[in-house]
A and B are shown apart, each in its own frame.
Chain A
Amino acid sequence: MPELVKERDKYADHLLCSGHTACPGCGQSLAARLVVRAAGRNVIIVNSTGCLEIFTSKYPESAWEVPWLHSLFQNTAAVASGVEAALSALGRLEKVRVIAQGGDGSTFDIGFGAISGMFERGHDILYVCYDNEAYMNTGIQRSGSTPTYARTTTSPPGKVSLGNLRPKKDLPQIAAAHGIPYVAVASVGYPMDLDRKVRKALSIRGPKYVQIHVPCPLGWGTDPSRTIDYARLAVNTGLYPLYEVEDGVTKALRIPRRAPVEEYLKGQVRFRHLFEGAGRKEEIAEIQKVADRNIERYGLIAE
């Protein structure tokens, strides 16, 4: 490999190039760049349909400097299984890593069966879910990952509804229940932690699941300049606990400064209806309880 390429690869920021068409403040584009940077050049990425696919691969342009394949919305884990099987047959699996990636819609909902199959069969693949908590590419519809009381276009608040009435599906625990060697939850707000988890995942053979919380300014109704702030608030309230499950043992990242959930909710248009008029104290308290339970369950605060 030429010296110049080697020098560039030290940073490897260019493996997902700039110049793609993501929105300003997109949490997913930053997280995806961190993931491929951690993976390096010897990787094959299989990408679900979704924002990341659309904003990086408009023919004849591509933002990817690594081999990258998009097939459909729900089959990414199965396609990646095929890539891995082929590499295995070719004796190249020692050198080349396989990453399957998609948003929460393709991961929590439509592609879940294929992901479960990929886990169960033990393929040597890292599955990365970029979780922005709704179908953003189709225009902000509710997914199985949408948190309670969030407004989406298919879970709008109204005279008799307060938005999405169901709790967020606990996919990392469902992944862990498959008995796979590594599951991690990360946030684009904590890039060093994210980088470490991706590198660790890629050092382990077998199926791995990493779920990354990525604020979406368009879908959440937040200022593009505050993506990292909201990502950190989600963690620091306890609503998005950052933990790892390695061979069944859970370790969590402690919260540096505990924040009340109101601080996280109030600036987001998707939760604005909870603060209108007299405010929805009961519902906000309910969300606080979710955060408190996470804090207790994962030991997020030092004793």
Chain B
Amino acid sequence: MLKGRMIQGCRAIAEAVTLCRPVVISAYPITPQTLIVEELASMVAEGELKAEFINVEGEHSAASLVLGSSATGVRVFTATSSQGLLYMGEVVFNIAGMRLPVVMVNANRSVSAPLNIWNDQQDSMSMRDSGWLQLYAENNQEACDLIMQAYRIAEDHRVMLPVMVCVDGFVLPHAFEVVDLPSQKDADAFLPPYQPLYKLDPDNPYTMGAFAEPDKYMETRYMIERTMEASIPIIEEIASEFKRAFGRPSGGLFEKYRVDDASTMVVALGSMAGTIKDVVDELRNKGERVGVLRLITYRPFPKEALYEALKGAQNIVVMEKALSLGGSSPVATELRSVFHGRPASPRISGFVIGLGGRDVTVDDVKATIAKAQQQLTDMGFIGLRTDLELEGINA
């Protein structure tokens, strides 16, 4: 029997946010994130959440507003998707550069054109170089757990960087699942009030957002990079603490599923890992040595831990709902660089799947694994229609 309540993802996420006691929330509608801020709005209206809830005139301002509040020393929250994330992209980089511990949920959605409101992860992947930590949830329970951990990580004085919690649009926020949320008392014990290092205060005036000439700028980037590296053990430490506090494993760098003696490892992010795990169960029952590594922490990219976890495999099959047009798929590319020049050199194939909300089926996953076991693939496309007269598709 599962512990918890049957609850819609958006409501669960909003309740998890409420348990974190954000002081300022900015909101702007964009599908499929909207349900989350709608739930928060109703909680504020019902007096269940005491926060400044501000409807802004666009995502650029949604991110800017929480930037200002965070700089004033309070805990903040906002959420977005897709075009909204791209529109606030300039501010996304700025928040990281200013070392503000903003936490944002991105309900992953494809990017336009053509307009498509359904799920893939191209939006958040486009922000991978921004200086935000990125955590990807598989289900609503994990989404809620990651939100609580995200504040701990972001506000840790050894980190002081923003965290984006990525949840697959529609698949998570719109779905009803059993979710176990802690009491406010237990949540408070895990997540104490935010203690800013610096803030805007007339009693102790700071100049924030100064400009840096060529003799200073590069060091600011270097420091963020070093902090990203240093945050890897902190993410693990906070996940362990979470497990101690709430009794379930959640968060951390990645989840390993049936990896013992696996010669083929499937690497994926987010909700499609559920389908992949089912396929792996089936293949294991047939005696195939297949396992799954579900990446939770994509930024920072946990290079050493990934090497250790995957070095025993002969085949690595990376399945991604994102791609770099004209390049390769992002996680496959980065994994290849992890193994470059090291003793272990597995075959790493990359596959793009499920863009724009296309279903990721059991058959797709099986076909992907089979293809990768036959030959090295740089960037294969899975699940393309074969009934369309498109260049190369039927070749």
Q: How far in angstroms is the closest Cβ of chain A from B186? A: 24
Chain B positions 294 through 308: 1 when the CB is less than 8 Å from some CB of chain A, otherwise 0: 000000000000000
**Does A70 reach chain B (CB closer than 8 Å)?**
yes
Given A75-B64, A89-B74, check contact A65 B205 (CB 8 Å). Answer: yes
**Does A165 reach chain B (CB closer than 8 Å)?**
no
Chain B positions 140 through 164: 1 when the CB is less than 8 Å from some CB of chain A, otherwise 0: 0000000000000000000000000
How many Å lie between the Cα of A190 and that of B132 in the bound state?
Answer: 47
Chain A: which residue is nearest B100 at the CB level?
A71
Chain A: which residue is nearest B206 at the CB level?
A67
B98 touches A71 (CB 8 A): yes
**Which among B24, B204, B205 is the interface contact of A85 at CB below 8 angstroms?**
B24
Given A80-B68, A82-B69, A90-B74, check contact A71 B54 (CB 8 Å). Answer: no
**Does B94 reach chain A (CB closer than 8 Å)?**
yes
Which residues from chain A contact B209 at a C-beta distance below 8 Å? 57, 69-71
**Does B16 reach chain A (CB closer than 8 Å)?**
no
Given A53-B211, A58-B210, check contact A71 B58 (CB 8 Å). Answer: no
A54 touches B211 (CB 8 A): yes
**Does A268 reach chain B (CB closer than 8 Å)?**
no
Chain B positions 53 through 73: 1 when the CB is less than 8 Å from some CB of chain A, otherwise 0: 011111011001111111111
Q: How far in angstroms is the closest Cβ of chain B from A207? A: 14
Number of A-B contacts defined by CB within 8 Å: 149
B202 touches A96 (CB 8 A): yes
Q: How far in angstroms is the closest Cβ of chain A from B342? A: 39
**Does B388 reach chain A (CB closer than 8 Å)?**
no
How many Å lie between the Cα of A59 and that of B207 in the bound state?
Answer: 9
**Does B86 reach chain A (CB closer than 8 Å)?**
no
B68 touches A72 (CB 8 A): no
B72 touches A82 (CB 8 A): yes
Which residues from chain B contact A74 at a C-beta distance below 8 Å? 60
**Does B212 reach chain A (CB closer than 8 Å)?**
yes
**Does A14 reach chain B (CB closer than 8 Å)?**
no
A72 touches B52 (CB 8 A): no
Which residues from chain B contact A75 at a C-beta distance below 8 Å? 60-61, 64, 67, 91
B26, B51, B205, B207 — most chain A CB neighbours (10 Å) = B207
Chain A: which residue is nearest B65 at the CB level?
A82
Chain B: which residue is nearest A75 at the CB level?
B64
A114 touches B205 (CB 8 A): no
Chain A: which residue is nearest B55 at the CB level?
A121
Chain B: which residue is nearest A69 at the CB level?
B208
How many Å lie between the Cα of A121 and that of B91 in the bound state?
Answer: 21
**Does A18 reach chain B (CB closer than 8 Å)?**
no
**Does A44 reach chain B (CB closer than 8 Å)?**
yes
- In chain A between 82 and 141, which residues have their CB closer than 8 angstroms to a CB of chain B? 82-90, 96, 113-114, 116-117, 120-121
**Does A79 reach chain B (CB closer than 8 Å)?**
yes
**Does A259 reach chain B (CB closer than 8 Å)?**
no
Chain A: which residue is nearest B26 at the CB level?
A82
How many Å lie between the Cα of A126 and that of B299 in the bound state?
Answer: 39
Count of chain B residues with a beta carbon within 8 Å of a chain A beta carbon: 42
Chain B positions 180 through 221: 1 when the CB is less than 8 Å from some CB of chain A, otherwise 0: 000000000000000000001110111111111100100000
Given A86-B74, A90-B74, check contact A57 B68 (CB 8 Å). Answer: no
Which residues from chain B contact A58 at a C-beta distance below 8 Å? 210-211, 213
**Does A298 reach chain B (CB closer than 8 Å)?**
no
A85 touches B69 (CB 8 A): yes
B200 touches A69 (CB 8 A): yes
A82 touches B67 (CB 8 A): yes
Given A59-B216, A79-B65, check contact A86 B72 (CB 8 Å). Answer: yes
Which residues from chain B contact A77 at a C-beta distance below 8 Å? 61
B68 touches A81 (CB 8 A): yes
**Does B225 reach chain A (CB closer than 8 Å)?**
no
Chain B: which residue is nearest A73 at the CB level?
B90
Which residues from chain B contact A84 at a C-beta distance below 8 Å? 68
**Which among A60, A69, A90, A117 is the interface contact of B71 at CB below 8 angstroms?**
A69
A83 touches B68 (CB 8 A): yes
Which residues from chain A contact B212 at a C-beta distance below 8 Å? 59
Which residues from chain A contact B213 at a C-beta distance below 8 Å? 58-59
B94 touches A71 (CB 8 A): yes
Which residues from chain B contact A79 at a C-beta distance below 8 Å? 64-65, 67-68, 71
Give the interface size bracket for A toward B: 35 or more
A83 touches B72 (CB 8 A): yes
Which residues from chain A contact B54 at a C-beta distance below 8 Å? 81, 85, 121
How many Å lie between the Cα of A60 and that of B216 in the bound state?
Answer: 9
Chain A: which residue is nearest B60 at the CB level?
A75
**Which among B55, B60, B202, B206 is the interface contact of A78 at CB below 8 angstroms?**
B60
Which residues from chain B contact A85 at a C-beta distance below 8 Å? 24, 52, 54, 65, 68-69
How many Å lie between the Cα of A117 and that of B26 in the bound state?
Answer: 13
A46 touches B60 (CB 8 A): no
**Which among B24, B57, B94, B98 is the interface contact of A116 at CB below 8 angstroms?**
B57
Chain B: which residue is nearest A66 at the CB level?
B205
**Does A42 reach chain B (CB closer than 8 Å)?**
yes
Which residues from chain A contact B210 at a C-beta distance below 8 Å? 57-60, 62, 70
**Does B23 reach chain A (CB closer than 8 Å)?**
yes
How many Å lie between the Cα of A70 and that of B209 in the bound state?
Answer: 5
B57 touches A117 (CB 8 A): yes
Chain B positions 18 through 55: 1 when the CB is less than 8 Å from some CB of chain A, otherwise 0: 00000110100000000000000000000000011011
- In chain A between 20 and 43, which residues have their CB closer than 8 angstroms to a CB of chain B? 41-43
**Which among A54, A66, A72 is the interface contact of B202 at CB below 8 angstroms?**
A66
Q: How far in angstroms is the closest Cβ of chain A from B232? A: 29
A86 touches B202 (CB 8 A): no
Q: How far in angstroms is the closest Cβ of chain A from B199? A: 8
A82 touches B58 (CB 8 A): no
How many Å lie between the Cα of A67 and that of B247 in the bound state?
Answer: 44
How many Å lie between the Cα of A67 and that of B209 in the bound state?
Answer: 11
B216 touches A78 (CB 8 A): no
Given A87-B72, A89-B24, check contact A68 B208 (CB 8 Å). Answer: yes
B67, B68, B72, B202 — most chain A CB neighbours (10 Å) = B68
Which residues from chain A contact B69 at a C-beta distance below 8 Å? 82-83, 85-86
B56 touches A117 (CB 8 A): yes
A72 touches B90 (CB 8 A): yes
- The 5 A-B residue pairs whose C-beta atoms are closest, nearest first, are A82-B68, A117-B57, A86-B72, A78-B64, A75-B64
7 of the cross-chain contacts (CB-CB < 8 Å) are A62-B207, A67-B208, A69-B209, A70-B210, A75-B67, A89-B24, A90-B73
